[in-house]
Amino acid sequence: MIEKKSENLIFNGQQFFYSHHSDTLNCDMEFSVYLPPQSKNKKYPVLYWLSGLTCTAENFTTKSGFQRYAADHGVIVVAPDTSPRGAQVKDIKDEWDIGCGAGFYVNATTNEWDQHFKMYDYITKELPTLIKDNFNCSDKASISGHSMGGHGALICSLKNPGMYQSTSAFSPIVNPVNCPWGQKAFSTYLGEDIELWSAWDSVELIKQGHQVNHLFVDQGLADNFLDNQLKTDALKQACESKKINLELKYRQGYDHSYYYISSFIGEHIKWHAQFLN
Ligand SMILES: N[C@@H](CCC(=O)N[C@@H](CSC=O)C(=O)NCC(=O)O)C(=O)O
């Protein structure tokens, strides 16, 4: 059962926030959903948006300005939280890149983390079912995200052929097994056996032969995280070697922030809409 927390009219569509109990994550969760105009009369497709480190459902919903474009193109947009939440959920105080706000879209297997940190199952199983059961949407879905959420969008798509019509990402962490954020998260959630990490890494999945249809990656060239954490070129090389058609746009002068995302989210929604409608 979902409980409505708020509702606002924007570009003639409705922006909602809901809460619900997640059986997968074993805690209460919040997500936002935008319904474009006329959605009572027509089944629209769904774009899932996965946010980055430190985010809740709110950051993308209130900062990106996506609603103008979702209304224009007739796309329902769902933005979940980035981790399980609540007093009972394991966390590490004062660390923003692990625990709450940093679920990394994997299924944790390590002691105590495995009680709640199953974000991959939540995003690919529980949430889509919840959306289909509660909203008037078509069977078509696509996925996008930012940074940690860009990594999430890539792995959800690579691990589930056919589930998403198209996949895009802003500044994704493309090779988490080879960067400090990913190594910290994966050693915490998956343990020290690095052989097990590759199942959650987009570059490694591509090297193993996983495929993705319609892939668009966006990266700001003034992004402070590009060289040390994001390593976009590793994805470019992996896609080239496996003949995956990657549309990669570098943006001169743009950083890692929501100012950058809001500048190009319209282009991404228009791009997804051609595969969704
Ligand atoms: N607190 C950190 C920076 C955290 C940060 O930049 N978070 C990004 C996502 S980073 C990768 O997943 C974000 O989206 N923040 C939310 C926002 O509204 O901007 C630091 O101090 O460096």
CA distance 273 to 188: 37
Q: What is the mean pLDDT of residues 116-120?
A: 98
In order of start, what are the domains of the chain with their CATH numbers? 2-276 (3.40.50.1820)
- Token couple for 66: 């996506």
Instruction: Assess whether the C-beta atom of 45 lies below 6 angstroms from ligand 1.
Output: no
DSSP 31: E
Residues 174-217 pLDDT 10s: 999 999 999 999 999 999 999 999 999 999 999 999 999 999 99
Could you report the predicted ipTM of this complex, rounded to two decimals? 0.96
**Looking at 32, 147, 171, 202, which residue is catalytic?**
147
Reply yes or no on whether 256 is catalytic: yes
User: For the whole model, what pTM was predicted?
Assistant: 0.98
Candidate list 146, 256, 268, 272, residue with the active-site label:
256
Q: How far apart are CA 127 and CA 8, in angstroms?
A: 22
- Decide whether any atom of ligand 1 lies within 6 Å of the 96 Cβ: yes
Best CA proximity match to 60, nearest among 77, 39, 85:
77
Q: How many CB atoms lie within 10 A of CB 87?
A: 6
188 alpha carbon to ligand 1 midpoint, in Å?
20
- The atom of ligand 1 lying closest to the CA of 63 is 18
Measured distance CA(104)–CA(12) in Å, rounded = 34
Supply the pLDDT for residue 233.
98
Is 51 catalytic? The answer is no
DSSP 8-state symbol, 100: T
Q: Average model confidence (pLDDT) for the chain?
A: 98
CA distance linking residue 143 with residue 79, whole number of Å: 10
| Ligand 1 contact, 55 CB (< 6 A) | yes
Closest ligand 1 atom, residue 148 Cα? 12
pLDDT of residue 249: 98
